[in-house]
Amino acid sequence: MIGLQRATLFEGTTLILLFGVAMPLIYVAGVDVATPVMGPIHGLGFMVFMWFVVRAWAEELISFPGVARLVAGAFIPGASFLNERWLRRIAAENGAAHAV
């Protein structure tokens, strides 16, 4: 579960950096370097995150509503941090902090 928690934090951080820093730089300041750098980093982070979500679901660490919550949260800036806290609580309840 710790891998999923870290992937959730990484995906959420890169999404905020992409939307909050890179995109405003390109549209406000005309600096077009940040988006081509942050875009692929976020894309890789999202793919790793989805891998951990599918893996946790396959290992029955989370249910389908949990999968839907995590995937929906990946598209809302800041929601990944709430989901990470939720995952931490689930891991503590199940005693499976190092299962994934």
- Give domain status of residue 47, yes or no: yes
Beta strands in 32-98 (DSSP E): none
100 found inside a domain: no
Residue 83 is part of which domain span?
A: 2-94
**Residue 33 belongs to some domain of the structure:** yes
What does the pLDDT look like over 4-44, one tens digit per residue? 999 999 999 999 999 999 988 988 888 888 889 999 999 99
pLDDT number for residue 29: 86
In a domain, 99, yes or no: no
CA–CA dist 89, 57 (Å, integer): 17
Q: What span, in angstroms and rounded, lies between the C-alpha atoms of 11 and 81?
A: 10
In a domain, 89, yes or no: yes
User: Is 83 part of any domain?
Assistant: yes
Residue 99 has pLDDT above 70, yes or no: no
- Report in angstroms the alpha-carbon separations of 54 from 4, 72, 75, 85: 10, 14, 17, 19
Count structural domains, the chain.
Answer: 1
